[in-house]
Chain A
Amino acid sequence: MTETPIRLTVNGVPRTGQCVVRKLLVDFLREDLALTGTHVGCEHGICGACTVLVNGQAARSCLMLAVQADGAEITTVEGLMQNGALHPLQAAFRRHHGLQCGFCTPGMLLTALDLLRVKPDPTEAEIREGLSAVLCRCTGYHGIVKAVQAAAPELRAAAPWPDRRSP
């Protein structure tokens, strides 16, 4: 099958690749760019484990073709640390036991970031609604909700990040 070249920016770094048109974005990230932090949980857009930011907005990388991301700016879980330290949201997940097996965690983090961008001061119900886009089977969501509640004021105080571009 013929391959198509792809140019995109991932976690602030310009990347290029080449793949068949039908290749999913998540497979391209994991296999071609070796960014295995983004996980595949259902391949039909429900579980949310594969969520990344595409031009600042949360998107299912299992429902996108890699070629659709040509020219886009992608943020994956590997891009969240800042200057070698955990992002405040990552630190809050650790503090509040927001993860157990860690498989849904990348999708949960990026979904929560998108939520806090849109709603910087969410109520608990709004957090739960926003996070209902990602399934977790370990935590009962308790620690995750607490972590997002704790991180929200920190993110409000900090400069907008990692959203470098308005959608």
Chain B
Amino acid sequence: MASGSWIGRSVERVEDGRLLTGRGAFIDDHPPVSNLSHAAIVRSPHAHARIRGWDASAALAMEGVVGVITGRDVAASCKPFGVGVTAPVHYYPAATDKVRFVGEPVAVVVARDRYLAEDAAEAVVVDYEVLPAVVDPEKALEPDAPILHEAVGSNLAGHRRLVYGDPDRAFAEAEVIVRERFRFPKYASTPIETYGVIARWDGLDGVLTVWSNFMGPFIMHPLVARVLGLPENRLRFIVPPDIGGSFGIKSSIYPYLALIGLAAMKLGVPVKWIEDRREHLLASSSGTDRVAWREVAARNDGTIVGMRFKWFDNVGGYIRSPEPGCSFRPTGNFVGPYRFQNLEVDASVVMTNKSLTGPNRGYACGHLYFETERMIDLLAERLGLDPVEVRRRNLIDRASFPYRTPTGGLYDSGDYAATLDKALVLAKYDELRREQARARAAGRYYGIGLALAVDPSVSNMGYVATALDPQFRAKPEYLPKSGAVDSATVKIDPLGRVIAILGTTPQGQGHQTIVSQIVADELGVAPRDVTVVDEMDTFTRVWSISSGTYSSRFGSVGTSAVALAARKLKAKLVEYAAHLMGVTPGEVEFRDGGVHRTSGKATPYSIKDLAGRAHWNTESLPEGMEPGLAATAVFGFSVARAVDAEDRVNSSNTYGFIAEVMAVEVDPDTAAIKIVKYVTVHDAGTIINPMIVEGQIYGGALHGLGGALYEELAYDDDGQLLTGTFMDYLVPTASEAPDIEIAHVVSPSPLTTLGSKGLGESSSMTVPAVIANAVSDALRPLGISITELPMTPTRLHDLITRARSSASEPRPPRSGHPRPEPASPTPLQ
């Protein structure tokens, strides 16, 4: 086990030296090939239109223009991308017949430099027949809604009704039922580095090399190969050492790998495209906006007996893989940290004339926990119970781990009650309630919110098949899917220096630092003696379908692979040293960076000594030992299984836990929300580098806060984006970042080599819930319940004004929407 001295320490990052001095190597920095031409993408100004034709002749006549490819070339040369549903949605790298969202690529202009390419892009004429647009997921399902994909026949890309236990009976027997409707906004993470792609076509060998800041999953490699009609061993993806942030968003670059790849193939020049910010906001990727109807059935003591989820997820103009993960990624943790066994999920995946969606930090869990945790507070309010007590009454007990959820999740470890208690103690919850009583007596709007979340990491790609009907999955020709693997190689050079090679694509998570700590502990050296290389290259790295840096997987699966590779190598060193000493491997042990006799006197062999002998004199190896000092380990989870016939799936592999408490004060005149207290307690198993872990929590929390308060890709009814610049799409700045008190509980995972779990998405999935609960609690005297995000000052001010103006007449509590069943506000003690 990891009893060494480096794991658990806030070791300074090895990445920082280059990044602080301007020596990083991002996609836009160092051209990997000479004589690059530069691309500008022509994009649709319409949300929905039929394309009658393209005319690139004026553009082709302009200075410096190398060539133009249009949707016509795409249609002639590409297959559509595979999608995660059975509906016949034909999604190409650029529009071939119709455009279905503003910003959809329709042509690519390639020129000597980017300035000239942009000039010429304006001269490409596309003849459109404009069609009516629809942007609301509920309206898109109405009978008279414009249809985006005629071949599908409706705007429903997919629909599943999943039933676990006996929800009808649970609701029939419930003592109390609470219902509510929620809206979750479309927001993104807007990494400060945009997308970037460089493609070179070697026509003689038939090899397309594509450099990009793509983060994986590398299932997109075979997908792109199929689209371009290339054998997989003729398509090479290379990722530079540095990626300027991603948070899930850069998993959706892959259509551009095909598009720029096609431009390079068609025009016979290496092509570079760097997305600009306008393009990024218009057309990169975001989380889905969702309309959700929720019901919870409970007993009067607060025990939850069942829930119903009904939601409409808006995936935009097409459905792009891995969607509909928006609906199904949390399948295994649909119930969160609660014990109830009866659940019905009615998920509609809807296409509208908005930009396309995909993983965004907390993928689908921000939605899930916003709804669930609001419902728990509404239940507590209805029953006149403290929200802490309702949660505590329903928590999965510590003795139940590993815990199988009714939806197929296998929670590996945890102590949810202790984590909640720690958060309450740290926040001084009782004192906050006393402060609230004082504030209310003085006419101030002070509220306290709670949120709990099971934090899933390392998605099991098998979850995607939950989108398909069990009958479809039962067909003999259907191939089941499952898995979550990562690899690592550790090698020792002839002078005893250690190099670790990864196939991951870090975007700021400090993999090099983490791996140097792990290998240092395993081999008894210092982290600075370990060089870590993490430049993904599909031609040279050992990788698989699920490789990549997404779904908080490195903390679980990447670290496990590294530790196992180092152990394999260590075992070889032990065997070799024993051979040199003329004893059996059982008589020696590895410690302090060398191999020692367990008893008796003998000179130990250091790693350097063994490396020198092994490399320079292979005759010294024991008979049958493979020469060389390198070991590769591929780590995978045996708990990653395909979805079963009852739609149960362990959708992730490790499950952390988050408990949060927030206190806010709302100014009723300006609608400003002041965060007075924010405590977050995490259980991510063994912590390898506390500094990096806390950095992830601070960043995740601010992402969640952005989605809850500021950020929205807002559209008008015609499908025009209203927030197309950073002047309109509001990213939180340092002035908006609250003080955060962070604490940890450690329940090591029994499934990973070091006991660690992923944590990269962290509080992004809890902040929308905790702040909505806190603001609702603050505004309870006005009868306001938050059911819609973001809580912009305008939206909140409107709620407050309406509530105050109707204060004289008795009315049910107001929310952003009519409430299906009014709940009477119950004051908390």
A contact set with B: CB distance below 8 Å: 1, 20, 22-23, 30, 35-44, 46-47, 49, 76-78, 80-81, 86, 90, 93-95, 97, 99-106, 109, 125, 127-129, 131-132, 135-145
Smallest beta-carbon distance A19→chain B, Å: 10
Smallest beta-carbon distance A52→chain B, Å: 11
Which of B13, B507, B703, B726 meets A97, CB within 8 Å? Answer: B13
For the complex of A and B, list the 7 residue pairs with the smallest distance between their C-beta atoms, beginning with the closest: A37-B22, A102-B19, A103-B244, A101-B508, A140-B698, A100-B508, A46-B726
Return chain A residues, CB-CB under 8 Å to B29. Answer: 30, 36
CB<8 Å pairs between A and B, sample of 5? A41-B192, A78-B21, A132-B734, A137-B731, A142-B740
Q: Does B493 contact A (CB under 8 A)?
A: no
Which of B18, B26, B726 meets A135, CB within 8 Å? Answer: B726
Tell me whether A100 and B20 are in contact (CB under 8 A): no
Interface string of B725-739 (1 = CB under 8 A from A): 111000101110100
Indicate the member of B20, B21, B698 with the most A CB atoms within 10 Å. Answer: B20
Tell me whether A101 and B243 are in contact (CB under 8 A): yes
Q: A57–B115 Cα gap in the complex (Å)?
A: 28
Return chain B residues, CB-CB under 8 Å to A136. Answer: 192, 734
Return chain A residues, CB-CB under 8 Å to B508. Answer: 99-102, 138
Interface string of B51-64 (1 = CB under 8 A from A): 00000000000010
Which residue of chain B lies nearest to A35 when distances are taken between CB atoms in the complex?
Answer: B22
Query: Given contacts A42-B726, A94-B12, A103-B245, are A139 and B21 in contact (CB under 8 A)?
Result: no
19 further interface pairs, Cβ-Cβ under 8 Å (given A36-B29, A94-B20):
A22-B115, A38-B22, A39-B193, A41-B192, A41-B193, A44-B277, A78-B23, A90-B21, A100-B508, A100-B510, A101-B508, A102-B244, A102-B508, A103-B193, A128-B733, A135-B733, A137-B191, A137-B703, A139-B698
Tell me whether A102 and B699 are in contact (CB under 8 A): no
Tell me whether A101 and B22 are in contact (CB under 8 A): no
Return chain B residues, CB-CB under 8 Å to A81. Answer: 21
Q: A44–B29 Cα gap in the complex (Å)?
A: 20
Interface string of B693-704 (1 = CB under 8 A from A): 011011111110
Which residue of chain A lies nearest to B706 when distances are taken between CB atoms in the complex?
Answer: A137
Tell me whether A42 and B20 are in contact (CB under 8 A): no
Q: A14–B438 Cα gap in the complex (Å)?
A: 65
Tell me whether A42 and B277 are in contact (CB under 8 A): yes
Tell me whether A131 and B22 are in contact (CB under 8 A): no
Tell me whether B735 and A78 are in contact (CB under 8 A): no
Return chain A residues, CB-CB under 8 Å to B692. Answer: 97
B contact set with A: CB distance below 8 Å: 12-13, 15-24, 26, 28-30, 63, 115, 189-194, 242-245, 247, 274, 276-278, 507-510, 691-692, 694-695, 697-703, 725-727, 731, 733-735, 737, 740
Q: A16–B189 Cα gap in the complex (Å)?
A: 39
Which of A90, A101, A127, A142 meets B242, CB within 8 Å? Answer: A101
Q: A22–B277 Cα gap in the complex (Å)?
A: 19
Return chain A residues, CB-CB under 8 Å to B26. Answer: 36, 39, 103
Which of B242, B698, B700, B726 meets A44, CB within 8 Å? Answer: B726
Smallest beta-carbon distance A129→chain B, Å: 6
Q: A41–B276 Cα gap in the complex (Å)?
A: 8
Which of A44, A109, A137 meets B245, CB within 8 Å? Answer: A137
Return chain A residues, CB-CB under 8 Å to B733. Answer: 128, 131-132, 135, 141
Smallest beta-carbon distance A13→chain B, Å: 14
Return chain B residues, CB-CB under 8 Å to A137. Answer: 189-192, 245, 247, 699, 703, 731
Smallest beta-carbon distance A122→chain B, Å: 12
Return chain B residues, CB-CB under 8 Å to A76. Answer: 22
Which of B63, B699, B734 meets A100, CB within 8 Å? Answer: B699
- Interface residue SS majority, chain A: loop
Return chain B residues, CB-CB under 8 Å to A77. Answer: 20-22
Tell me whether B12 and A95 are in contact (CB under 8 A): yes
Query: Given contacts A81-B21, A102-B242, are A135 and B731 in contact (CB under 8 A)?
Result: yes
Q: A46–B115 Cα gap in the complex (Å)?
A: 21
Return chain B residues, CB-CB under 8 Å to A105. Answer: 19-20
Return chain B residues, CB-CB under 8 Å to A104. Answer: 192, 244
Q: A81–B699 Cα gap in the complex (Å)?
A: 27
Which residue of chain A lies nearest to B728 when distances are taken between CB atoms in the complex?
Answer: A46
Tell me whether A90 and B20 are in contact (CB under 8 A): yes
Return chain A residues, CB-CB under 8 Å to B22. Answer: 35-38, 76-78, 106
Q: A40–B692 Cα gap in the complex (Å)?
A: 26
Tell me whether A143 and B735 are in contact (CB under 8 A): no
Tell me whether A131 and B695 are in contact (CB under 8 A): no
Tell me whether A36 and B30 are in contact (CB under 8 A): yes
Tell me whether A20 and B115 are in contact (CB under 8 A): yes
Return chain B residues, CB-CB under 8 Å to A135. Answer: 192, 726, 731, 733
Return chain A residues, CB-CB under 8 Å to B277. Answer: 41-44, 47
Return chain A residues, CB-CB under 8 Å to B727. Answer: 44, 46
Smallest beta-carbon distance A53→chain B, Å: 13
Tell me whether B245 and A138 are in contact (CB under 8 A): yes
Tell me whether B702 and A141 are in contact (CB under 8 A): yes
Return chain B residues, CB-CB under 8 Å to A22. Answer: 115
Q: A95–B702 Cα gap in the complex (Å)?
A: 21
Q: A40–B508 Cα gap in the complex (Å)?
A: 17
Return chain B residues, CB-CB under 8 Å to A43. Answer: 276-277
Tell me whether B737 and A99 are in contact (CB under 8 A): no
Return chain A residues, CB-CB under 8 Å to B18. Answer: 102
Query: Given contacts A97-B695, A101-B193, A138-B245, are A46 and B725 in contact (CB under 8 A)?
Result: yes
Which of B17, B30, B274, B737 meets A142, CB within 8 Å? Answer: B737
Q: A109–B242 Cα gap in the complex (Å)?
A: 18
Q: A80–B277 Cα gap in the complex (Å)?
A: 28
Q: A101–B18 Cα gap in the complex (Å)?
A: 11
Q: A109–B16 Cα gap in the complex (Å)?
A: 13
Indicate the member of A39, A80, A140 with the most B CB atoms within 10 Å. Answer: A140
Q: A99–B15 Cα gap in the complex (Å)?
A: 10
Smallest beta-carbon distance B251→chain A, Å: 15
Tell me whether B737 and A141 are in contact (CB under 8 A): yes
Which of B510, B703, B726 meets A47, CB within 8 Å? Answer: B726
Tell me whether A102 and B20 are in contact (CB under 8 A): yes
Smallest beta-carbon distance B562→chain A, Å: 20
Smallest beta-carbon distance B235→chain A, Å: 27
Q: A133–B698 Cα gap in the complex (Å)?
A: 19
Return chain B residues, CB-CB under 8 Å to A144. Answer: 734
Return chain A residues, CB-CB under 8 Å to B695. Answer: 97, 100, 138-140, 142-143
Smallest beta-carbon distance B16→chain A, Å: 4
Smallest beta-carbon distance A123→chain B, Å: 12
Return chain B residues, CB-CB under 8 Å to A41. Answer: 192-194, 277
Tell me whether B13 and A94 are in contact (CB under 8 A): yes
Q: A42–B508 Cα gap in the complex (Å)?
A: 19
Smallest beta-carbon distance A105→chain B, Å: 6
Smallest beta-carbon distance B677→chain A, Å: 16
Q: A76–B29 Cα gap in the complex (Å)?
A: 15
Tell me whether B699 and A145 are in contact (CB under 8 A): no
Smallest beta-carbon distance A154→chain B, Å: 15
Indicate the member of A35, A36, A95, A106 with the most B CB atoms within 10 Å. Answer: A36
Indicate the member of A35, A76, A100 with the most B CB atoms within 10 Å. Answer: A100
Which of A37, A97, A131 meets B23, CB within 8 Å? Answer: A37
Return chain B residues, CB-CB under 8 Å to A20. Answer: 115
Q: A20–B114 Cα gap in the complex (Å)?
A: 13
Q: A106–B18 Cα gap in the complex (Å)?
A: 11
Return chain A residues, CB-CB under 8 Å to B700. Answer: 140
Return chain A residues, CB-CB under 8 Å to B274. Answer: 40
Smallest beta-carbon distance B154→chain A, Å: 37
Tell me whether A102 and B190 are in contact (CB under 8 A): no
Return chain B residues, CB-CB under 8 Å to A40. Answer: 28, 274
Which of A39, A109, A129 meets B192, CB within 8 Å? Answer: A39
Q: A167–B264 Cα gap in the complex (Å)?
A: 47
Smallest beta-carbon distance A153→chain B, Å: 20
Smallest beta-carbon distance A32→chain B, Å: 11
Indicate the member of B19, B243, B734, B735 with the most A CB atoms within 10 Å. Answer: B734
Which of A36, A97, A141 meets B691, CB within 8 Å? Answer: A97
Return chain B residues, CB-CB under 8 Å to A35. Answer: 22
